Chain A
Amino acid sequence: MDPADLTIAEAGARLRSGDLTAVDLLASVRRRASMTEAILHAYLTIDAEGATASAVEADAALQRGDDRGPLHGIPVALKDNMVTRGVETTCSSRILSGYVPPYDATVVERLRAGGAVIVGKTNLDEFAMGSSTENSAYGTTRNPWNPDRVPGGSSGGSAAVVAVGSALGALGSDTGGSIRQPASLCGVVGMKPTYGLVSRYGLIAFASSLDQIGPITRTVDDAVTLFEAIAGHDPSDATSYRGDFPDPRADLGKGVEGLRVGIVSELSGDGIQPGVAAAFQATLDRLAGAGADIREVSLPSTEYALSAYYLIAPAECSANLARFDGVRYGPRIDGATVEAMMSATRRDGFGPEVTRRILLGTYALSAGYYDAFYGQAQKVRTMVSEDFKDAYAEVDVLVTPTSPTTAFAVGERADDPLAMYLSDICTIPSNLSGDPAISVPVGLDDAGLPVGFQVLAPALGEGVMFQVAAAVERLSGFESRPALATSLGAA
């Protein structure tokens, strides 16, 4: 088997048994990238020099018995909104073109400390705003299962590289579904941790109260591995969770016997594509067959969640993106005054979707509108959290399709922001509540496109979430890979 097709767990075992080196593993992954990138365009930057040095060092460390843990020697990719010292970080925006950060994000430090080999930086919707990776200033990423389709977004690059094996795992960021939706559309596992479990220090902010970094991997087990490597308190992030959290691996193999699994009435009817609905129902049947107690619960505030999200996220982004002004870094368009320079720089630097959200957010925070928009949205946010709390009094986990549809065609929704925003209807509520959620691939629709199944759990409920996700993965037996990867693997 081509090492690029190994899971993190398999590769780790082979690195330790001595029949694979980190340098060879990196070479396989890079070969895979060189053969797929012309089609996918999932990487923005490949750090050849840095990755090679890390791989050499990883091999040397293992030789001398210095084993840094399960990510030792494993090639991983980073969404290009996490800063990397000495490696260009653009957020897929012109406004950061050529920007080379002087420091590493906390997650990057933790990956490096765990011996991971960072292959490169992946494409995203500009500043993580989008659901298709079409809003990138540096070109659209394509879906590995069908290059006429989008990979989802905004972490489309990270999902695509994991799907084809040009990295064994990747980090994405999830503000409204930006890890889970592309994972679903690319047939891989994507997980958003409880808000505060993973440090945001060095994640270029979109919406601070919603953003969370999480893993994208081929298997649930690998997702746990990557999550464990990056989770835990960080004194550099004041919103970082300080307490202990349960061992996410403890119940991984336990199955679902006796667990109460809730389906959400508001997220299971209208607007769900037939192929998605069928795969979702098949998975429910398997869970029931394995002894899960399937119940229906209601999250009545869900219908307002999308509206609340599209006020809160733009409001925060309007302030978060104010720092990109041409004064200290990034390209500058000169003007007669400082104000003119800033305006020209920002007008040139931001794409249309980012501009739209900055305007929307600025408006929502303006005097006279604050209470009606931002204030009201915060109330809805509280109601969504209350709904979840009520639901978790009755069930252990909730399940939904991750995305109402499978991968849509490139360009199909590009001119229809509302249709694009609807892609995130199932994923947004858990960002508002700050709870964890994961997408697991469970099958293909008639067009041969993957369908994701979402498992949601209460805050700090990663243990039971992974437990159910692992069961779903076993019961579904989904082992398909995109033809793009298998043809290359066989070659």
Chain B
Amino acid sequence: MSYEAVIGIETHVELQTASKMFCGCPTDFGAEPNTNVCPVCLGLPGALPVPNERAIEWTVALGIALGCEISQHSVFHRKNYFYADLPKNYQISQFDLPLCVGGHLEVDPGSGVRRVGITRVHLEEDTGKSTHLGGGGRIHDAEGALIDFNRSGIPLLEVVTEPDIRSPEEARAYAQELRAIVLALGISDARLEEGSLRFDANVSLRPEGADELGIKVEVKNMNSLRSLQRALAFEIERQTALLDKGEAIDQETRHWDEEAGRTEPGRSKEESSDYRYFPEPDLVPIQTNPEAVERIRGALPELPALRRARHIALGVEPAAAATMASAGLAAMFDDAVSAGADPRAAANWVTGEITAHLNRTGDDPSDLVMDGRGLAELVGMIGGGELSSTAAKEVLIGVLAGEGSPREVAAAKDLMQISDESAIVSEVDAVIETHPDEVARMKDGDERLAGFLVGQVMKATGGRADPRLVDRLIRERVGL
């Protein structure tokens, strides 16, 4: 039988506020274990939470970006469950009165635009992180556990979609677009591999054309966009096989095993789902007045969808426009264009060599020593015939290594093109003299030999002559 997949995604975004959600501890990743802690985020007796205003504003900002309604009256609840890395044994989260409700996100998996409904965006606190010792790192056969509370209390934003997603490709496109928005807003570093962006998916199948939903399986532990797509594809295949055999789907949580390329059942003992939510009495309700919402709306940066449209209007290829989703790359591009660079050429450099460099080094665009003006200079030199594209790549390497501006690097490395006619005319004459046969055949109409002769001049000048100039000079000399 043919089945339709019904997918909903829950995304957790760790906000990169300077301090934690309910205390003043720093949020930096990679600090020594249990150094970014205080009585509040350790759940010591007597400690009380104080909400981080910035985290609330950022949640509202994401809500606006997703077209949500911003609640004027929103409440933090306690979500009660016992877990060793949850210091209070309840998580301060939101329940029936989240900050943002009912938005949507338009995504394009390459097959046309799809609209994914957003159920809610709410704010909560992260837990600590357990490391299980022995027994292969799994909790049930571990010999012991170490807990690092540095992550405890980091602001965590949760975005829940409607079950509107129909394929692994759409899921990936949704995740990618949401990540781009988060990056554009500058509210998280959104690194999947560090866990600052985490996707959980609910997936069920139903016969094509049916309205009723099937039994859903929650899939966790996807550490990249690619693994999200792969995990869903696997899960759809697995469920299809079960249904085809007439077997039932278990409602369960499954974990994606990246190496094995399959989902595996989670702990067989399902945790109780009665979280006994009740309003957090240590906090007062969040009152968001419409003026504050408008102020946040007015301060929103350009969002990825609009930016892409604007870049395409400038002449950038759609694929390049999509790659320039990250705020840093787009800013470099925009700076280069406003410094006079040709948009298409600038986009090619940003999405080509510069992105490759970032991938190689793992740096952020903000780490680059070259800015948009530098890029404009580079692109201008190529366009003006001062630099060949091959030489330009070498220049870029030098610039990114901090050796100076493109012009300085090109000069220092002797990579400037020779565009001065008088400087190469003697080499052209020498080539014509030493290749009488070729010149003769060219005169008889074999134009391909022009290329050969240009190549000889380029060789003689060490590749530095402007090939267009050489071509013109040869044609003049030969008399075509």
Contact A323 B46, CB 8 Å, known A239-B283, A316-B281, A338-B84: no
Residues of A within 8 A of B284 (CB): 238-239
Residues of A within 8 A of B274 (CB): 366-367
CB A357 to nearest CB in B, in angstroms, measures 15
Residues of B within 8 A of A105 (CB): 46
Q: How far is the CA of A338 from the CA of B283 in the complex (A)?
A: 30
Q: Is the CB of A89 within 8 A of B45?
A: yes
**Whose C-beta in chain A lies nearest to the C-beta of B90?**
A319
Residues 171-182 of chain B, each 1 if its beta carbon lies under 8 Å from chain A, else 0 = 000000000000
**Whose C-beta in chain B lies nearest to the C-beta of A211?**
B281
CB A251 to nearest CB in B, in angstroms, measures 30
Q: Is the CB of B48 within 8 A of A237?
A: yes
- The SS class assigned to the B binding surface is loop
Residues 91-113 of chain A, each 1 if its beta carbon lies under 8 Å from chain B, else 0 = 10000100101110100000000
Q: Among residues 27 to 48 in chain B, which have CB atoms less than 8 Å away from a CB atom of chain A?
A: 39, 42-48
Does A466 belong to the interface (CB within 8 Å)? no
Total chain A interface residues with beta-carbon distance under 8 A: 44
Q: Is the CB of B90 within 8 A of A362?
A: no
Residues of B within 8 A of A237 (CB): 48, 50
- The SS class assigned to the A binding surface is loop
Cβ-defined partner of B48 (8 Å) among A200, A319, A322: A200
Total chain B interface residues with beta-carbon distance under 8 A: 29
Q: Is the CB of B51 within 8 A of A238?
A: yes
Q: Is the CB of B87 within 8 A of A328?
A: yes
**Whose C-beta in chain B lies nearest to the C-beta of A329?**
B44
Cβ-defined partner of B282 (8 Å) among A103, A208, A322: A208
Q: How far is the CA of A200 from the CA of B49 in the complex (A)?
A: 11
Residues of B within 8 A of A102 (CB): 39, 44
CB B92 to nearest CB in A, in angstroms, measures 10
Q: Is the CB of B281 within 8 A of A238?
A: no
Residues of B within 8 A of A339 (CB): 82
Does A298 belong to the interface (CB within 8 Å)? no
Residues 240-263 of chain B, each 1 if its beta carbon lies under 8 Å from chain A, else 0 = 000000000000000000000000
Does B278 belong to the interface (CB within 8 Å)? yes
Q: Among residues 190 to 243 in chain A, which have CB atoms less than 8 Å away from a CB atom of chain B?
A: 200-205, 207-209, 235-239
Q: Is the CB of B278 within 8 A of A96?
A: no
Does B147 belong to the interface (CB within 8 Å)? yes
Residues 58-97 of chain B, each 1 if its beta carbon lies under 8 Å from chain A, else 0 = 0000000000000000000010101010011110000000
Residues of A within 8 A of B50 (CB): 235-238
Q: Is the CB of A319 within 8 A of B80?
A: yes
CB A445 to nearest CB in B, in angstroms, measures 38
Residues of B within 8 A of A202 (CB): 46-47
Does B145 belong to the interface (CB within 8 Å)? yes
Does A325 belong to the interface (CB within 8 Å)? yes
CB B280 to nearest CB in A, in angstroms, measures 8
Q: Is the CB of B87 within 8 A of A323?
A: yes
Q: Is the CB of A236 within 8 A of B46?
A: no
Cβ-defined partner of A322 (8 Å) among B39, B80, B84, B281: B80
Cβ-defined partner of B278 (8 Å) among A235, A342, A370: A370
A-B contact pairs, 11 of them (CB 8 A): A89-B45, A101-B45, A204-B46, A319-B90, A319-B278, A322-B88, A322-B89, A328-B43, A365-B278, A367-B276, A370-B276
